[in-house]
Structure 1
Amino acid sequence: MPIVITLLAVAALLLLIVILKWHPFIALVLVAIGAGLGLGMGPKGTMDAITNGVGGTLSDLAIILGLGAILGGVVAETGAAKVITDRLVGQRTGTSVLWGLCLVGFLIGIPLFYTVAFVMMAPIIISAAEKTGLPLAMVAVATVVSLSVTHGFLPPHPAPVLISNTFGADMGKVLLYGILLGIPSVILAGPVLARTLRNMPQTKGALTFEAIELPVRLPSFGASMLCALLPVLLLAAGTLVQGTVDEQSWVVSSGLLGLFTNATVALLLGVVIAMLVLGGQTGMSIQQLMGRVGKQLAPMAAVLLIIAAGGAFKQVLVDSGTSRYIVDTLQGFNTHPILIAWLIAAALRVTLGSATVAAITAAGIALPLAQGGNASPELLVLATGAGSLTLSHVNDTGFWLFKEYFGLTVPQTLRSWTVMETVVSLIGLVGCLGLSLVV
């Protein structure tokens, strides 16, 4: 019975979000209440689970996502992102530009949220296609794949952070493993896959976005790279050091190492240092940069509400015992926990469209997998993230964003964007299964 009610709840989400075009926040809250009552939790139990789910989900996540949005805004508005792009792409011609743009996308995609990075890279992609004469879809796939991988695999992006908190995973390890999986993913689903689109007819992109007004004096390449990647470097370095330093040493026992490798602290340091360094090099004062914080945080409001509602739905599934029941049933088929997590997320992605909503919901269902100790929670995070990227199609806003910006038909978008997303997802799954043999 719990499985039937959960399937009905997912079907209701599909109906409300995809067919009736309801906002995911309202749909998730409504379905969470309905699922709680249907699972026998009663009005009080249902509302308690929803309240706890919202609070538990946003307790650490809100600060991390907020700081990540601010850092991305500083990197974009000071011109650091442009400096990185110009240096790495430079005067490349022909298909070599695909590799340069792929690298730029990966570096820019780490600090910037997907939509912001996409809008920033779109004119560069269109310009590169015009300059080289390569099909626009070919150049777009080679670039956007990096944004998709960082969005699905790497903190501080919403889904990896949320799933890490849900599964109790070490965010530093998630970052390191995510980079290990991300490199082959962006290569195979990016420049390599893009070459199969060489014969796709050239299209004209729709330049219907607002350009960022950059300062007259741009920062140096070294400063731009350091500020864009500083939180990542701190988290990665902390994870590596923790594996080599004696636990009895002062730096560990005092908690100092843990403090500076905490995701919130790493991002806060990144924001402050970026404002000081990039602001100083561009002539923008701290007051000017601080004045833009509200604008940078505004787009996160809708994201946080959706994530909060997803956390409420997740908690209903957990408190009712449904997630444990579903996972126990699936484990009865002797399937690897990583494959189970991927399948749950993939099924939700195909039906619901949104990668973030799919990841949030899948995390609630798959939580017992992380508690069972049969698989690394970090790899379960990445497997869930990979599953949430698979087979993007007409019910995904990312599908239409890619189609409209680059002037493609629906079949062309399926041939390029959908295949790219699915290849990334499958490589992520295979990579997680491979890493599970050694970690």
Structure 2
Amino acid sequence: MPIVYICIGIALLLLLMVVFKLNAFISLIIVGVLVGIMEGMTPAEAMTSVTNGLGGTLGSLALVIGFGGMLGKLMADSGGAQRIATTLIRVFGRNRVQFAAVLTAIIVGIALFFETGVVVLIPLVFVIAAEASVPILYIGMPVIAALITMHGFVPPHPGPTAVAGIFHANLGLTLLYGVIIAVPAVILSGPMYTRLFKKEDLEVEIPKGLFTPKHFEEHEMPGFGISVFTALIPVILIAFQAVVEIATPDSSLVPTAQFLGNPGVALLIAVIVAIFTFGLNRGKKMPELMNSVSESIASIAMILLIIGGGGAFKQVLIDSHVDKYVANLMEGSSMSPLLLAWLIAAILRVVLGSATVAGMTAAGIAAPLVAATHVSPELMVLATGAGSMTFSHVNDAGFWIYKEFFNLSIGKTIKTWSVMVTIASLVGLAGVLIINALIS
């Protein structure tokens, strides 16, 4: 019955939002409480779970999205985003601008968590699309595909790193296999998938206040080097943490690297630098810069609440122990360990919404199979990671991040985002099976 209650909850959520046009945040809170009660919680327990989910999600994302929004606004209002976009278009050409954007997202995605990468690159997506005269999703979908795929497959991202610990996998080899698998997954789920859409299907209306198109003259824009450096400060700092932790885990430098590499701290430092490089250094006054900062927060306030609502719904499902119900169903299977790990993670991902919980639970169930079957623990990590990316929908905060930043309907979000991550998941599984066949 737990799965039936979840299906009822999702159907009710779609009814409230699509038919009755109720605000997404209000709908998510109502459905979260009702599903919790149906799953056996008392009303008070369901509300506590909703509160914890809302706080837990916003606790980790408020700084990232808040500072990321400020950085993006400062970069856009100064002409820095336009400078980067025009340079990429000039170097790669308008016909290959999608490739340039994807390459940028893959590099950024190795270091940045998905949420951080989104808020850093969204302004560039809007400006590149405007400068190249192409639909926003023509650039946006491949960029998001690159970010979410790197987040799901490649250490030091939390999911693959934590699962690698459970399987006792070598992080270096997991990273190598992960990149090999991620590249075709990104290409097929991003640039190739966008080609199936008509041009008008990729057009979106940018959320009001998030980005205001303005064409800057050459002399009004900061230089390319300083624009790229300022935009990549979070990438540099988070990558620095990853390198220190992997190369010298016992070094006294680790605490400092962990502080500087915290996404919130890294983005705060980037905002402070941007105030100088994009503002004060170019003759702008502090009141004008702080006006940009205020406008950026006003534009993302509802986005934050809706993402928090998605986290609340997810937490209700986790606290009602649906994961244990699914785990009990799958135990004792004689399926290939790689396929089993992928399938368990995929089912839990669809049911719970949390990729991390899906991956960790699947790894816990499949861990004994590594010693019993001598399958590669690194490939088990990647099979689990691929499964945990499958068909993200309304119970996943990532779904709402993508939906709100691109101002999409639920139907269009499912058609683009949900299918896109599922393609990446299936390509990832295929890559795992091919590598396993080559090394066996």
Q: Would the TM-score normalized by the shorter structure come out above 0.5?
A: yes
How many residues were matched structurally?
Answer: 388
- 2:144 aligned residue (138, 145, 148): 148
- 1:369 aligned residue (353, 359, 362): 362
1:212 aligns with 2:196: no
> What is the distance in 2 between the residues matched to 1:144 and 1:117?
9
2:291: which partner in 1? 291
- CA gap 1:427/1:83 in 2 versus in 1, 3 angstroms: farther
- CA gap 1:364/1:290 in 2 versus in 1, 3 angstroms: same
- CA gap 1:8/1:328 in 2 versus in 1, 3 angstroms: same
- 2:252 aligned residue (250, 253, 256): 250
1:324: which partner in 2? 324
> What is the distance in 2 between the residues matched to 1:28 and 1:284?
42
**Alignment RMSD (CA, Å):** 4.8
- CA gap 1:307/1:202 in 2 versus in 1, 3 angstroms: closer
Amino acid of the structure 1 residue aligned with 2:46:
T
Alignment of 1:16-415 (within 5 A): 16-90=16-90, 95-100=95-100, 102-103=102-103, 110=117, 112=119, 116-126=123-133, 141=138, 143-150=139-146, 152-153=148-149, 183-189=183-189, 210-212=212-214, 214=216, 217-247=220-250, 249-252=251-254, 255-331=255-331, 333=333, 334=335, 335-345=339-349, 359=353, 368-369=361-362, 374=367, 383-385=387-389, 387-388=391-392
- CA gap 1:32/1:75 in 2 versus in 1, 3 angstroms: same
State the 1:234 CA deviation: 1.4
State the 1:388 CA deviation: 2.5
CA shift digits 1:138-180 (9 cap, x unpaired): x964x3343322553467xxxx9xx959x9789xx9xx89877
Conserved? CA contact 2:341–2:362, under 8 Å: yes
With structure 1 as the length reference, what TM-score do the two structures score? 0.69
State the 1:239 CA deviation: 0.7
Conserved? CA contact 2:145–2:189, under 8 Å: no
Conserved? CA contact 1:386–1:428, under 8 Å: no
Amino acid of the structure 2 residue aligned with 1:22:
L
State the 1:60 CA deviation: 2.4
2:167: which partner in 1? none
CA shift digits 1:90-135 (9 cap, x unpaired): 17557445534544676899464676555433323426xxxxxxxx
- CA gap 1:98/1:339 in 2 versus in 1, 3 angstroms: same
Conserved? CA contact 1:88–1:103, under 8 Å: no
1:9: which partner in 2? 9
Conserved? CA contact 1:314–1:364, under 8 Å: no
> What is the distance in 2 between the residues matched to 1:225 and 1:114?
11
CA shift digits 1:200-223 (9 cap, x unpaired): 998799797651364852111111
- CA gap 1:76/1:40 in 2 versus in 1, 3 angstroms: same
Conserved? CA contact 1:341–1:384, under 8 Å: yes
CA shift digits 1:273-305 (9 cap, x unpaired): 222223245333444322211211223222221
Q: Point out where structure 1 has 5 or more consecutive residues left out of the alignment.
A: 128-135, 349-357, 390-394, 405-409
> What is the distance in 1 between the residues matched to 2:342 and 2:295?
39
- CA gap 1:323/1:46 in 2 versus in 1, 3 angstroms: same
Amino acid of the structure 1 residue aligned with 2:130:
P
> What is the distance in 1 between the residues matched to 2:328 and 2:272?
46
Q: Point out where structure 2 has 5 or more consecutive residues left out of the alignment.
A: 110-116, 165-170, 207-211, 368-376, 394-398
Amino acid of the structure 2 residue aligned with 1:368:
T
2:371: which partner in 1? none
Conserved? CA contact 2:146–2:186, under 8 Å: no
> What is the distance in 2 between the residues matched to 1:89 and 1:323?
46
> What is the distance in 1 between the residues matched to 2:364 and 2:426?
25
State the 1:3 CA deviation: 2.3
- CA gap 1:367/1:37 in 2 versus in 1, 3 angstroms: farther
State the 1:364 CA deviation: 6.2
Conserved? CA contact 1:251–1:257, under 8 Å: yes
> What is the distance in 1 between the residues matched to 2:408 and 2:64?
31
